[in-house]
Amino acid sequence: MTGGTHSGWTPRDRPPCSRLILALAGLVSVPALAGVARAQERRVDDEPAAEGEVVRLERERKVLVGPDVGYALLTHRGDTGVSYEAGLTWGGHARIELRPWMGLRFSARNSRHVVDLAPGALSTSDSAALDGVELDHPLLDVWKLEARFEPTWVATSRLRLWAGPGVGWARFETSELEARVSDCTVQCRLQTPKRQGSAVELSGALGATYDVIPRWVAASLAVSGGGFVGKPVGTLFDEQHPMQAFVDGSMLHLAALPEPASAFAGRLSVDVIF
């Protein structure tokens, strides 16, 4: 080395390609570090990371979608000799995660109930023609659309407990009655129209959701109960207009089914987490 000559290596001596690579690395590292910072804010346990701790990221819950299956019970008003048996219920749901502590669930379900008729049930003042006729009522189909707010307690990172009020619309359907007629001479089959009705239901539910595969698949267990508001509409429960039926060449009138009073259900659900 002589005089003012400096033989040391400086950044200017870097090849152009290496300077380009370093510049690109700097551009990539800025958003990456910002992403890590945001991810740290969304850690599962919501606690600051200790020095040297590996940050565990949370897969954000937005919507839970899945099928439901269980049993439903339907009660009725009055003592008419008609009762509804508990039946299988099935359907599907979607729960929107409004906040970690609040969900909004939409569901659609169907249940089918056996209609038990005591002797003389459905008879009216002009149904003497029912003598010798053994009625066999078809299944009662109940279709429900429901919306429910579900305040939620996050007990652990995998377990959530929730409860809340809901409102729903129920449609009731039944097909033609069947009958066995003794000593029949003209028409040996009971002819009746198909009937339907609908009602509004206010209900409450409580349940628990457990992440079987964290942030991907969950299972839920829930119970619900509620009452039907007001008077149902439709021909199925219309006491003012008895159902017309024809048997053995005669017309007679059959009483309407008793109005539904309340409904209860227990359901098991499987959720896919989006």
How does pLDDT run across 32-46, given as a tens digit for each residue? 434 443 444 344 444
Domain with CATH 2.40.160.20 in the chain: 63-273
The predicted pLDDT at position 24 comes to 43
User: What tokens appear for 198 in the block?
Assistant: 């609908």
Average pLDDT on 238-250 reads 74
Residue pLDDT, tens place only, 141-186: 999 999 999 999 999 999 999 999 999 999 999 988 776 666 665 5
Nearest Cα to 162, choosing from 174, 173, 154?
A: 154
Predicted TM-score (pTM) of the model is 0.74
Gap between the Cα atoms of 131 and 123, Å rounded: 10
- Of 28-42, 86-100, 205-219, the poorest mean pLDDT is in 28-42
The predicted pLDDT at position 47 comes to 52
The predicted pLDDT at position 131 comes to 61
Would you state the CATH architecture of domain 63-273?
Answer: Beta Barrel (2.40)
Average pLDDT on 211-237 reads 94
| pLDDT(188) > 70 | no
User: What tokens appear for 262 in the block?
Assistant: 């309340």
| pLDDT(21) > 70 | no
